[in-house]
Amino acid sequence: MTDTFAQDVLKGLTAKNKYISSMYFYDDNGSRIFQEIMNMPEYYPTNAEFEIFSMQSKQIFEALQFSGPFNIVELGSGDGFKTFKLLEFLVNNNVDFHYIPIDISQQAVDMLTVSLKERLPNLKIHPKVGDYFEILKANKASDYQSLLLFLGGNIGNYVQEKVDQLLQLFNENMKTGDKLLVGIDIKKNPIIIHSAYYDKHGITKRFNLNLLVRINRELDADFKIDDFDFYCHYNPITGDLKSYIVSLRKQVVEIKALNQIIEFDYNELIWTELSKKYSLEDISSLAKNSKFNLNKNFLDCKHYFVDSMWEK
């Protein structure tokens, strides 16, 4: 990971418009800060999706209309916080299914497996670590129908070209009649969105600036953290929310592991994240353009978030 991290940092910080991929937010400290973000009253996505799974697991199961045993394949399972409610409903109702959580982190998968075996001892769980699409390709050969889970609004982190590629790959690695349940953050009052990502507590700022702390630690750099700030901007027309680190002065940073000197101009930006929001019409078009049929949208009570069920 360090070699890839180094290459990506070098590529991003020497680009004309500087950027660092949001995938690098989640070192140990970044993961802890993100837990703080999820606990903020302003940060609605996690609670909204948790409500959907808590209140509508029966409806989600009924919408599947699978005739026999099936697989639930979760892409990027993490701690399984939301998915647990669906798994619990299915196990308690003696539904015959196999749960296949996939994550790139062996530690995350191990912790999830131990937790679920304690809480749902009758759950048939087959954890996998590695590339989504290699594992999906193997799953396509299964005799069972599958429900793919891509939750948490993660689709919003991809630019449109990457979204199209991702959904095409999902489609190619599914059987006819398989379902995809995708979690998507919905366009809403811009003030609600802005408050969730540009919080008054400064937690999101710490989360972003931790990227510089990580580069200092892992790549022997000398970023002066106090010389950088955080800014985010939401465009309610396009639904694009973009986060940036801002250089507060003209400065030079040495990254010894890369043998590089990086120059920053006054007010120069480093783009760190896209978190796109979609309208229900956008979601319908997204499904259609990706050769899926949109079966049903499951919304939270405030209509802040949707888990949209698509069928191949």
Percent of residues, the chain, with pLDDT higher than 90: 83
Q: Which of 62-76, 107-121, 126-140, 158-172 has the lowest mean pLDDT?
A: 126-140
Q: What is the pLDDT of residues 18-75, one digit of tens each?
A: 999 998 998 889 888 988 998 999 999 999 999 999 999 999 999 999 999 999 999 9
Q: Where are the beta strands (DSSP E) in the chain?
A: 70-75, 97-103, 128-129, 145-150, 179-185, 228-234, 241-247, 251-255, 260-264, 269-274, 293-299, 305-311
Structure tokens at 227: 């010389």
Q: Which of 22-31, 166-175, 210-219 has the lowest mean pLDDT?
A: 22-31
Average pLDDT for residues 122-145, to the nearest whole number? 87
Q: Is the pLDDT at 149 greater than 90, yes or no?
A: yes
pLDDT class of 2 with cuts at 50, 70, 90: low
Q: Is the pLDDT at 231 greater than 50, yes or no?
A: yes
Q: What is the pLDDT of residues 96-120, one digit of tens each?
A: 999 999 887 788 788 889 999 999 9
Domain ranges of the chain: 2-43+191-274, 45-188+279-311
pLDDT class of 1 with cuts at 50, 70, 90: very low
Q: What is the pLDDT of residues 263-280, one digit of tens each?
A: 999 999 999 999 999 999
Q: Comparing 141 with 246, which gets the higher pLDDT?
A: 246
303 conformational bin, left if phi > 0, alpha if psi -120 to 50, beta if neither: left
User: For the domain bounded by 45-188+279-311, which CATH number is listed?
Assistant: 3.40.50.150
**Residue 272: HSE in the Cβ half-sphere, 13 Å Cα cutoff:** 24
Q: Which DSSP category does 72 fall into?
A: E
Return d(Cα 167, Cα 292) in angstroms, integer: 9
How big, in percent rounded to 5, are the helix, strand and coil portions of the chain? 45, 25, 30
Contacts of 70 (CB under 8 A, 6+ apart): 64, 96, 97, 98, 144, 145, 146, 147
pLDDT at 169 (0 to 100)? 92
Percent of residues, the chain, with pLDDT higher than 70: 99
Q: Is the pLDDT at 80 greater than 90, yes or no?
A: no
pLDDT class of 235 with cuts at 50, 70, 90: very high
Q: Comparing 87 with 108, which gets the higher pLDDT?
A: 87
pLDDT at 221 (0 to 100)? 97
The sign of the dihedral angle between the CA atoms of 213, 216, 218, 219 is positive
